[in-house]
């Protein structure tokens, strides 16, 4: 018999699923960021810091996890294989209409951004969110909350 009392399981389930990399686990249980997310947060150490990384190295779930950890908003813009991430504060990302138009002119699209909190209302776009979206040649973007839930919003 495999894994009987005579031959116990050597890697219990708990060791495989640590919660690292899961926004809900960070928010609910205080689980730490995974190494990739820690490295990203080190590069985005303060309000208005920016970093460009490879597209495969970050996604919106990662930014949701960073929001759960810091309480700050993060915005993600994609151009080809590059992703630009901007760190905000608890209320906003420092991006105005002119800056958004420049990003769009350079070929970026607005992949999404995060809002701190877990209430359904935190995923509602602000008037500013909609105005920024109008600067890009896309019809929609997403808002993630601190638990990894998201809502798509459109121009208008």
150 band by pLDDT with thresholds 50, 70 and 90 = very high
The answer, as to whether pTM is greater than 0.75, is yes
Contacts of 70 (CB under 8 A, 6+ apart): 41
Strands 50-54 and 150-154, by their bridges, are unpaired
| CA–CA distance, 152 with 143 (Å, rounded to integer) | 6
Give the DSSP letter string of 83-142: EEEEE--SS-----HHHHHHHHHTT-EEEEEE-SS-SGGGGSPPHHHHHHHTTSS-SEEE
Statement: residue 18 has pLDDT above 60: no
- Please check the confidence at residue 134 and state whether its pLDDT lies above 80: yes
- The predicted pLDDT at position 27 comes to 57
Sole residue written with tokens 């915005």: 75
pLDDT at 25: 53
Quick check: helix, strand or coil at residue 8?
A: coil
- Give me the mean pLDDT over the 123-148 stretch: 95
- pLDDT reported for residue 89: 98
What pLDDT digit, counting tens, does each position of 74-132 carry?
999 999 999 999 999 999 999 999 999 999 999 999 999 999 999 989 999 999 999 99
Each domain of the chain, given as residue ranges in start order, spans: 19-154
Checking if the pLDDT of 4 tops 50, the result is no
pLDDT for 33 equals: 86
């Amino acid at each position: 018999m495999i894994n009987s009392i005579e031959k116990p399981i050597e890697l219990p389930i708990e060791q495989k699923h640590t919660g690292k990399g899961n926004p809900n686990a960070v928010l609910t249980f205080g689980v730490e960021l995974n190494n990739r997310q820690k490295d990203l947060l080190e590069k985005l150490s303060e309000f208005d810091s920016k970093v460009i990384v490879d597209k495969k190295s970050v996604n919106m779930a990662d930014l949701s996890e960073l929001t759960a950890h810091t309480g700050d908003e993060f915005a993600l813009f994609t151009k080809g294989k590059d992703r630009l991430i901007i760190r905000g504060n608890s209320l906003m990302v420092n991006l105005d209409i002119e800056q958004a138009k420049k990003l769009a002119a350079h070929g970026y699209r607005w992949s999404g951004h995060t809002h701190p909190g877990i209430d359904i209302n935190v995923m509602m776009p602000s008037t500013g969110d909609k105005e920024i979206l109008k600067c890009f040649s896309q019809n929609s973007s997403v808002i993630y909350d601190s638990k990894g839930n998201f809502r798509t919003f459109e121009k208008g």
